[in-house]
A and B are shown apart, each in its own frame.
Chain A
């Protein structure tokens, strides 16, 4: 049974923990590595970098992805950049400062040791990516350029136009394909993991469904690595890609892996508002827009005038008004919540009254349209393509949208979950961002986990199994898991209800957005805990999945994913309800300062909440991992 959770953080001073631990971990000698099978699920930054690195070391790796090519993973959509404590700009950055900013940005709900390690290896990521040919932005002298991002006071963000995620993923993908060609990595595309296979309490493989033929396939290995991303699509409308889902992580959770801090979700303030009910996803606009754009709404409720007809006196620049020091550059969660407040007051703009203006007229008057075009031209083009409005003439409309989820499967210092042999990387784990992620840190974490952490720590686990072959797939553990998947597939096809999977996903999303969105309260969360299970019950009774199991059947794929999102949503509500404080992306209306700022309760909630599955219909058990802060002092954030 689980006691208080032990993250197995090595002893010693903060800056020597990782170095010492690397030395103390057991190694697998090069000749023995090829006797170990490792399954990597997911091919984004974390998965591709891990698989490539493990392949280079000589492990026999199998990569499973539901995409048609590893290069499509959603890491590709990250725009802004990647942080690294290189201090190339000589502006006072350091590993310690990046560590400190990340801990503080996460509102003191992340592990010191993990975050310090992340900051430490961040510099190696830039070296690795550059050597792979990632075309980072450069200065005229040919050296790498940096920019300041997300309110950081140093310029430590490396970027590749507005497509940093794409370029980093293509780097990791190219490294992966090199290993595929070398024969160390076996690539299975369009294979969706639907079960984790356990044997003797360890993770020994997975079962997948081939999305083209419907074939159920068992894969056996000495260790399973999940790098399957976050669960932002529980909101239906988010900036996540359409296929993003929680299924791989959730199926592991159902087999015993703890799910930590599910209520920590990040809302990004500058997205294009939904334009109608058919909206399928929301598009993010780089946060850098807030450097020059001024955010406002009309003072009057339901002011029907066109924006250029509203004089300055009738405009409310609400961020500048409330936060004179930071103004429009307050952190993401603060900007988002304030936008929600004014829209909820009925002062939203646009046809659906669901946005706020982001106005560049002042900046254009000051710097000239050409300057603004040079800085943001591609973003303005994208905005016009989507909305049909010209942001050079009419202020942009923006509204917050779910962007990233800090919660995920619980992992220890070595990125192994409480299930031995199950490692979790990237957004799928909960580890490094605490309650709120800093801008340009997601790419950093995914690649740190995949390139520089897992390849060391996995050896420490595998060295116990030298000489043991991977479990035969003829073992009952695999047959049972295959049967479970087959049964599930058949169950969806036999329901024969009346409404589509998307219909229920959309309904679920509305509930989650309303009750577990930017601001939560007890009443809403309790409502969520009654309404979500009710909708879920209807879903299982009335969903319509047409077609058959042996073809490319997208409704069938989605059916299982949405079912898992239903269960996750319930857990999010429970987690949010139990966490009686506000921190980072989790804002409980009951816990705020007089000025409406998040108020933490460090005495009672300086811990990770990790939930244990107890079977369907029974609430999960909450376990705690206490967070020890030995190096930084906990302070309240203030952006006045």
Chain B
């Protein structure tokens, strides 16, 4: 619908009409509520990934071979219908798109709010806003930077001279045994949990999922999810540091390739 003509004299609008009106349904993304909606939906996708990723990583505790096999299983997904790794790549592309939209909507909405907002030189007190809600614009970029490091470190192996492609156990234990890296992981994953705490609750509001009878459960769900992800993700750097995850510099993948692996019947 065309913008209603308002004949009330007002201060100049903070935000002007988009120059190009995109066709439906893309025009939804041109509005703030639409962007919030996209942010909520992509948030669900990213949250789903994070939960699965965390649970998958728990294979680390089973041993080097098990996590390796888990990784291979992922690459094998959907091979009945598609060539190997295709489905994984489809999911990865989906995640990349979701991530890009999540960031873009956050960025443009922040700009909108900054344009609309005048600070209080006398200071303000917060009553309802919590640490998580107020730090979304900080935890978000922290997670983004961390994600880049995380990929570079454990997927691309840029920072790890001992990197062995396809051997998560080895790479994780090599990387996280360094104290600065472990600290970085702990900080970043704490930020992630904080982000998820507000994001999960906020998502219900943005998507309009609201029923007074169940509303009180949303905070519990948010806290529960954030807590589980926090505990799960922090366990890895902590247990590497504690020596629970440790392959003494040996790579199970290299050993498999060289036929020196012990025990496992392959």
* A186→B9 CA distance, assembly (Å): 10
Interface flag for A77 (CB, 8 Å): no
Residues on A with C-beta less than 8 A from B20 are: none
Interface flag for B257 (CB, 8 Å): no
Find residues 175-194 in chain A having any chain B CB closer than 8 Å to their own CB. Answer: 177, 180-181, 183, 186-187
Interface flag for B5 (CB, 8 Å): yes
* A177→B6 CA distance, assembly (Å): 9
Residues on B with C-beta less than 8 A from A186 are: 7
Residues on A with C-beta less than 8 A from B8 are: 177, 180, 187
Residues on B with C-beta less than 8 A from A177 are: 8
Residues on A with C-beta less than 8 A from B2 are: none
Give the distance to chain B from A20, nearest Cβ to Cβ, in Å: 39
Question: B7: nearest residue on chain A (CB-CB)?
Answer: A180
Q: Can you list 8 contacts pairing A with B, beta carbon distance less than 8 Å?
A: A177-B8, A180-B8, A181-B4, A181-B5, A181-B6, A181-B7, A183-B5, A187-B8
Residues on B with C-beta less than 8 A from A187 are: 7-8
* A186→B4 CA distance, assembly (Å): 16
Annotate B1-31 by CB proximity to A: 1 below 8 A, 0 otherwise. Answer: 0001111100000000000000000000000
* A177→B5 CA distance, assembly (Å): 12
* A181→B5 CA distance, assembly (Å): 6
Q: A177-B8, A181-B7, A187-B7 are in contact. List 9 more A-B contacts (CB 8 A).
A: A180-B7, A180-B8, A181-B4, A181-B5, A181-B6, A183-B5, A183-B7, A186-B7, A187-B8
* A187→B10 CA distance, assembly (Å): 12
Give the distance to chain A from B66, nearest Cβ to Cβ, in Å: 62
Give the distance to chain A from B111, nearest Cβ to Cβ, in Å: 29
Residues on B with C-beta less than 8 A from A181 are: 4-7
* A181→B7 CA distance, assembly (Å): 5
Give the distance to chain A from B13, nearest Cβ to Cβ, in Å: 16
Give the distance to chain B from A40, nearest Cβ to Cβ, in Å: 16
Residues on A with C-beta less than 8 A from B7 are: 180-181, 183, 186-187
Number of A-B residue pairs at CB separation under 8 A: 12
Question: A183: nearest residue on chain B (CB-CB)?
Answer: B7
* A186→B8 CA distance, assembly (Å): 8
Residues on A with C-beta less than 8 A from B4 are: 181
* A181→B2 CA distance, assembly (Å): 14
Size of A's binding interface in residues, CB under 8 A = 6
Size of B's binding interface in residues, CB under 8 A = 5
* A180→B6 CA distance, assembly (Å): 8
Residues on B with C-beta less than 8 A from A180 are: 7-8
Question: Which of B5, B6, B7, B8 has the largest count of A CB atoms less than 10 A from its CB?
Answer: B7
Give the distance to chain B from A640, nearest Cβ to Cβ, in Å: 52
Give the distance to chain B from A198, nearest Cβ to Cβ, in Å: 29
Annotate A154-186 by CB proximity to B: 1 below 8 A, 0 otherwise. Answer: 000000000000000000000001001101001
* A177→B7 CA distance, assembly (Å): 9
Give the distance to chain B from A86, nearest Cβ to Cβ, in Å: 33
Question: A180: nearest residue on chain B (CB-CB)?
Answer: B7
Residues on A with C-beta less than 8 A from B5 are: 181, 183
* A109→B28 CA distance, assembly (Å): 62
Annotate A185-224 by CB proximity to B: 1 below 8 A, 0 otherwise. Answer: 0110000000000000000000000000000000000000
Question: A186: nearest residue on chain B (CB-CB)?
Answer: B7
Question: B6: nearest residue on chain A (CB-CB)?
Answer: A181
Give the distance to chain B from A227, nearest Cβ to Cβ, in Å: 20
* A183→B7 CA distance, assembly (Å): 7
Annotate A100-116 by CB proximity to B: 1 below 8 A, 0 otherwise. Answer: 00000000000000000
Give the distance to chain A from B176, nearest Cβ to Cβ, in Å: 58
Give the distance to chain B from A191, nearest Cβ to Cβ, in Å: 12
Top 3 nearest A-B pairs by Cβ distance?
A180-B7, A183-B7, A181-B7
* A180→B4 CA distance, assembly (Å): 12
Give the distance to chain B from A66, nearest Cβ to Cβ, in Å: 16
Give the distance to chain A from B10, nearest Cβ to Cβ, in Å: 11
* A186→B7 CA distance, assembly (Å): 8
Give the distance to chain A from B1, nearest Cβ to Cβ, in Å: 14
* A539→B14 CA distance, assembly (Å): 46
Residues on B with C-beta less than 8 A from A183 are: 5, 7
* A183→B6 CA distance, assembly (Å): 9
Give the distance to chain A from B8, nearest Cβ to Cβ, in Å: 6
Question: A177: nearest residue on chain B (CB-CB)?
Answer: B8
Give the distance to chain A from B130, nearest Cβ to Cβ, in Å: 28
Question: Which of B4, B5, B8 has the largest count of A CB atoms less than 10 A from its CB?
Answer: B8
Question: B4: nearest residue on chain A (CB-CB)?
Answer: A181
* A516→B5 CA distance, assembly (Å): 51
* A183→B5 CA distance, assembly (Å): 9
Give the distance to chain B from A219, nearest Cβ to Cβ, in Å: 16
Give the distance to chain B from A500, nearest Cβ to Cβ, in Å: 27
* A187→B9 CA distance, assembly (Å): 9
* A278→B28 CA distance, assembly (Å): 54
Residues on A with C-beta less than 8 A from B6 are: 181
Give the distance to chain B from A117, nearest Cβ to Cβ, in Å: 34
Find residues 190-249 in chain B having any chain A CB closer than 8 Å to their own CB. Answer: none
Question: A184: nearest residue on chain B (CB-CB)?
Answer: B7
Annotate A410-427 by CB proximity to B: 1 below 8 A, 0 otherwise. Answer: 000000000000000000
* A435→B7 CA distance, assembly (Å): 42
Find residues 56-104 in chain B having any chain A CB closer than 8 Å to their own CB. Answer: none
* A72→B8 CA distance, assembly (Å): 16
Annotate A534-569 by CB proximity to B: 1 below 8 A, 0 otherwise. Answer: 000000000000000000000000000000000000
Give the distance to chain B from A502, nearest Cβ to Cβ, in Å: 27
Give the distance to chain B from A184, nearest Cβ to Cβ, in Å: 10
* A47→B114 CA distance, assembly (Å): 39
* A181→B9 CA distance, assembly (Å): 11
* A183→B4 CA distance, assembly (Å): 12
* A180→B5 CA distance, assembly (Å): 10
Question: B5: nearest residue on chain A (CB-CB)?
Answer: A181
* A181→B8 CA distance, assembly (Å): 8
* A103→B79 CA distance, assembly (Å): 90
Question: A179: nearest residue on chain B (CB-CB)?
Answer: B7
Give the distance to chain A from B7, nearest Cβ to Cβ, in Å: 5
* A181→B4 CA distance, assembly (Å): 8
* A180→B9 CA distance, assembly (Å): 11
Annotate A466-510 by CB proximity to B: 1 below 8 A, 0 otherwise. Answer: 000000000000000000000000000000000000000000000
Give the distance to chain B from A174, nearest Cβ to Cβ, in Å: 13
Annotate B179-199 by CB proximity to A: 1 below 8 A, 0 otherwise. Answer: 000000000000000000000
Give the distance to chain B from A85, nearest Cβ to Cβ, in Å: 37
Give the distance to chain B from A72, nearest Cβ to Cβ, in Å: 14
* A180→B7 CA distance, assembly (Å): 6
* A298→B122 CA distance, assembly (Å): 50
* A187→B8 CA distance, assembly (Å): 7
* A181→B6 CA distance, assembly (Å): 5
Give the distance to chain B from A44, nearest Cβ to Cβ, in Å: 18
Question: A69: nearest residue on chain B (CB-CB)?
Answer: B8
Give the distance to chain A from B6, nearest Cβ to Cβ, in Å: 6
Give the distance to chain A from B36, nearest Cβ to Cβ, in Å: 26
Give the distance to chain B from A177, nearest Cβ to Cβ, in Å: 8
Give the distance to chain A from B94, nearest Cβ to Cβ, in Å: 43
Find residues 555-601 in chain A having any chain B CB closer than 8 Å to their own CB. Answer: none
Give the distance to chain A from B238, nearest Cβ to Cβ, in Å: 52
* A42→B116 CA distance, assembly (Å): 32
* A186→B6 CA distance, assembly (Å): 11
Give the distance to chain A from B129, nearest Cβ to Cβ, in Å: 26
* A385→B6 CA distance, assembly (Å): 39
* A430→B5 CA distance, assembly (Å): 39
* A177→B8 CA distance, assembly (Å): 9
Give the distance to chain A from B82, nearest Cβ to Cβ, in Å: 55
Question: A185: nearest residue on chain B (CB-CB)?
Answer: B7
Give the distance to chain A from B3, nearest Cβ to Cβ, in Å: 11
Give the distance to chain B from A211, nearest Cβ to Cβ, in Å: 14
